Amino acid sequence: MSAATDCPLCSGDGGDVVWRGASARVVLAPEPLFPGFTRVILTEHHAEMSDLDAARRAELMALVNCVEEAQRALLRPDKINLAALGNVVPHLHWHVIPRWRDDSHFPAPVWSAAQRDGAARIARVQPLVAEYRAALAARLAARQSP
């Protein structure tokens, strides 16, 4: 199936669109606790990676890797977190999350309870996001896409 009528990732962008290709888009996620949190969202409505053929899985992971590389180069996080969950919105989307030891949840996943307010880290990362966004858009545009 290519679209689902009640799916928010079929009917909306799911964030600030940094890049849009035929098979997927890359958005800055509206996650104020985690500046730089980026999602790679499949265009078509499929729930699982194994619903895609190998070439489409590879293309999606190449986009995820491009985001990861841009985050490491521009934001210099302590760790990258990658996840495709989709329990609430079963439309394939990859979370690419830059993490720092002093962010609100570290070392727990961002879906756990907060361990501190993380405001100091947010204040350090937020000013880098515009440059990260521009560099990410350039890297994605420069990719050789099938």
Cβ proximity to a second copy: between 13 and 48 the closer is 48
The answer to whether residues 84 and 24 touch, using CB atoms and an 8 Å cutoff, is no
State whether the Cα torsion 2-37-140-77 is positive or negative: negative
How many residues touch a second copy (CB under 8 A)?
A: 33
Q: Does 33 bind a second copy (CB under 8 A)?
A: no
Q: Does 99 bind a second copy (CB under 8 A)?
A: yes
Q: Which of 69, 122, 129, 135 is close enough to bind a second copy by CB under 8 A?
A: 69
Q: Does 83 bind a second copy (CB under 8 A)?
A: yes
What interhelical angle do 54-74 and 129-142 show, nearest 10? Answer: 140
The answer to whether residues 55 and 75 touch, using CB atoms and an 8 Å cutoff, is no
Q: Does 90 bind a second copy (CB under 8 A)?
A: yes
Q: Which of 1, 3, 30, 79 is close enough to bind a second copy by CB under 8 A?
A: 79
The answer to whether residues 121 and 86 touch, using CB atoms and an 8 Å cutoff, is no
Phi-psi region of 58 (alpha: psi -120 to 50; beta: other; left: phi over 0): alpha
For 28, the token pair is 């800055």
Cβ proximity to a second copy: between 54 and 130 the closer is 54
Q: Which stretch binds a second copy (CB under 8 A): 8-16, 102-110, 118-126, 129-137?
A: 102-110
- Give residues in contact with a second copy (CB under 8 A): 47-50, 54, 57-58, 61-62, 64-65, 68-69, 72, 79-88, 90, 99, 106-109, 111-113
